[in-house]
Amino acid sequence: MTVSNHDLLVRPAAEADAGPLVGVLAEAFHEGPLADWLIPDPVDRRTVYYEYFADAFQHGLEHGQVYTTGDQTAVAIWYPRLEPTPVDTHSRLATLERIAGPYAPKFVLLEEMFDAFHPDDPHHYLAYLAVAPTRQNRGIGAALLADQHRRLDQLGLPVYLEASNMRNRRLYLRLGYHAGPTIVLPTEGPVIWRMWRGAPTSEGRSPFPRTRLHRRSL
């Protein structure tokens, strides 16, 4: 069954949603080339991912915008990036070492690469979009995105995200995103597709912006 945008209740998430939504994030991202690269052992991965996404969910509530569905089977974590955002590198490194233990170096590398290639143009950043595995391929993720897309189009703001596999890349292309230059993670890491949904213009949508590489080592 496909869910239409009108059938889906989208609401802001709250602290009380942490239990189910952290589970949705950890399970939705558990499989795939990026997950295999970050933590090859699937048992260790499940343990670390729950901690990692608990931190991501809390950070989203405090510093961004988090939306979920009425049945708590999907979650999107957004960050307004209307100007360059500084990173507390020492605090972030300590957090990743606490959460990921021996796997922390690759998490550090991943976040450094994402930060290095992040556009400076004002936009909203979709950090995470997750749908519970048992509810995927029903249009729930697309409906959750459409709710935010409407708001951002009214504000005249574009969207940026990183897609970690081809299936997600195809979804975003269908939803009006354009693919920019890729990120190839070192040490035999996977390809990450940088995606941009431009702001509405008289000629369509604003193009993928030029990226000035940042150097902010954790």
pLDDT band at 4 (very low <50, low <70, confident <90, very high): very low
Average model confidence (pLDDT) across the chain: 92
Q: Is 160 in a helix, a strand, or coil?
A: strand
pLDDT of residue 62: 97
By CB atoms closer than 10 A (0-12, 13-18, 19+), residue 107 is: buried
pLDDT band at 216 (very low <50, low <70, confident <90, very high): low
d(CA 208, CA 217): 25
Q: What is the pLDDT of residues 128-175, one digit of tens each?
A: 999 999 999 999 999 999 999 999 999 999 999 999 999 999 999 999
In contact, 152 and 182? CB cutoff 8 Å:
no
pTM > 0.85: yes or no: yes
